[in-house]
Every structure is written in structure tokens, then in C-alpha cells.
Amino acid sequence: MSEDVNPFESFQEQLDDAAAYVDVDEDTLERLRNPERVLETNLSVELDDGSIGVFRAYRSQFNGDRGPYKGGIRYHPGVSRDEVKALSGWMVYKCATVDIPYGGGKGGIVIDPREYSTAELERITRSYAKELRPLIGEDRDIPAPDVNTGQQEMNWLKDTYETLENTTAPGVVTGKAIESGGSRGRVEATGRSTMLTAREAFDYLGKGMPGATVAVQGYGNAGSVAARLLESELGANVVAVSDSSGAVYDETGLDAEAVKEHKLETGSVTGYDDVEELTNEELLTLDVDLLVPAALENAIDGDLAEEVSADVIVEAANGPLTPDADDVLTERDVHVFPDILANAGGVTVSYFEWVQNRQRFYWTEEKVNDELERHIVEAFEGLIDCYEELEIPNFRTAAYVVALRRVLTAYEEGGTWP
């Protein structure tokens, strides 16, 4: 794992790789490599003991050529300006890959939420929402959950915005609780799109999914849902999972749902049953059919990529491979199916939620899942067509070519404002 690789530089390198296959001039490409604006602010919030906590916070609006800015908000000690810029850039091309009418945004607060009470987190979230108020809106910028945030934070953000604006605007954020205007199917959407991408990938590569061995690095929402669905719907054999505390491994297979219950009860996957415990790095190098990185960016660098033994990688996390790792894995013929397709279920169902909010008409979970499957399958087919037509060396670059073409078309059709 490399913490030294700048995620924004990784994003720009990935976009540059795709630009080699697209007719785009240098000035336009430079515009598409950088955010349109970045908010950087300090939140001053009274804590439970009466002291004042100061928290650095960001919101990056990267590109709005295809629609309102869209992207999550994460609470994590590692949040930085370059991280949110990279994540907002990835969102632009993720939305374009699955062809939903959004641009890209991302936000975050430098905080470890485990160190604060629920009341403190509410005040911090509402303070952040107040700072975001001039930037966000149902047709401007639509936040959503990300690392260490969920329905509760989105409910607070929505309520703060609506109170200050003296309006009702459920579509100002997505990822809300059902009772607050959320969509059925949203909680498991990212894990579901990871499962669907793996299914399509194995079918394309002529591999059988039933009995295929799977290792999942990161057992939060996306990783645990992906593991459960790979196991229950496709018959895969999940042999290893991990979180920040370490990994558990059983070559005969784990019960993905039981491990999740253990984590909910204890706060960690470690200590589950009588199974072998590994480090996260050891999990990433297991000899498995499918590896699902579902934690944070830069999990696999060039050195670790040399030791990866999986045949197929499907990225549930954003940016889990560095560009050097991509180069190594491409050379080694390890098939990597990128984050901007595999984890796009979250933003796709967020789009469905936004549509439902605007119409005030809500779908069944079956309809949500059917529409998500259609979007992911069509996006996968478009990626493969581009990959084969242009003889592109890897699937990531093919996905970026598809997305870059769509963003360029929208930009060119809109013209340049003087």
C-alpha cells in the first residue's frame, strides 16, 4: 500500500492515458483535468465539553458539462484538498461511463468520527451544510454519503438546507433514509454494481462464477454487500475479508453475512469464528479468482502489484490501484475492471433517488434493481466495444475513453462562454 501517491495526479494520469485515443486539443484537455472550483473552509463547532473544535472541510465541483455536480461527502482523518479534487474528477467520468446526466463533485471533513458524540457530529454536519448552502441545490450540486457518512448525515444536511432556505427540497441530497425521501435499493447499490460488474466480467472472460474464490479488502457497506451478493446470487466462495483491523481467511469459505454480523457486534472482522487471521497486504496477494478492493485509494501500488495473484480485480473502492500498479497488472495480464464502472451503482441509484424526489413518485426496490442492472450491463457492453474496437491495453483506459467522449460532446455542444 502506498500513502505517498497523490490521488489527484493519479486521476490526471488516467485521463491522459484515455486522451491518447480521443481527438481532443491540449487546452480543452487541461480544462477537463482540473476542477472548476474548490471550497476550503474551517468549521468552528462547540463540543460537548464546551470547547470549540475547528475542522477543515472541502467541497470540489469538478465539471458540470453533463449536469449538476454529484458526489459524496466523507468524514476521515485523511481527507485533503487533492483527495477531494481527485474524487470529484473520478465522479465526472463515473457518471459519464454509466451515462447518467450529472457532473462530478466531492466533499469531506478532516475528522475521525469515532472520536465524537452523535450530538457533536450533528452540529459539525449542520455547520458544514451551512457553508455548502450557497453551492448546493437540486439543480446545482447534490451531495451523497461516502466513507463514514450515511443516511443520518444526509438527513441532517437536507434538514439544514431546507430550514435555511425555507423550502422543501428532498432532491438536494441523496442517500437519505426512506422516510426522508430516500430510495429503496440505495444502501446496497454500490455492492450490487460491483457484483454485476464481476458477473459480466467473468462471463466475458469465459470464467465460471459458481465456486470462484473471492477476497474482499474493506468490509464496510460496499465490500460487505458485494461479498454477500457474490455469494448468495452468483454462488461464489468468499474466502477472505478485511477491515482496518486486519483480515480473516478460510480456504473452505466464509459466511459473508455472519462475518458482517460479527463486525457489527464487535467493531471488527477479526476474531470471527475459528479462522486464520491475515494482514490486509496478505489478503491482497492471496491466490484467488477474484479480488475486490473495497477500502480507500492507493491500496495497491506498483510493488504490491507484482505480488498480486488474483486473476480478476473488480474495484469497489475509488482509486484503489495506483497508475504504477495498473501498468504492472496490465503487463501481467491481470484483468482490472475499474471503479468508474464497478462502484457506479451508488451514484446511479442516487440519480434514481433524485428523479423520484423531483417527481414525488417512488419506485419499488425491484424496479430500482432492474434499472441499475440495465445501466451497468449497458455500460459494460460499451466499455468492451471500445476496448476491442481501439485495441486498448486495459479496461480502465477503455472506460475513460467512453466517458471522455461523452463529456467532450456535452462541452462542445454547449460551447464556450465568453
Q: Catalytic amino acids?
A: 106
- How would you label 351-371 residue by residue, b for 16+ Cβ within 10 Å and e otherwise? bbbbebbeeeebbeeeebbeb
Q: Smallest Cα–Cα separation from 188: which of 233, 129, 156?
A: 233
Pairing assessment for the beta strands 52-63 and 104-110 based on DSSP bridges: antiparallel
Q: What Cα–Cα distance (Å) separates residue 135 from each residue in 69, 118, 140, 166? A: 10, 26, 7, 16
Q: Smallest Cα–Cα separation from 376: which of 348, 334, 335?
A: 348
Q: Smallest Cα–Cα separation from 105: which of 151, 136, 138, 148?
A: 136
Give, in degrees to the nearest 5, the angle at Cα 76 between 164 and 404. Answer: 80
CB proximity list for 198: less than 8 A, separation 6 or greater? 209, 226, 230, 234, 236, 290, 292, 312, 314, 337, 342
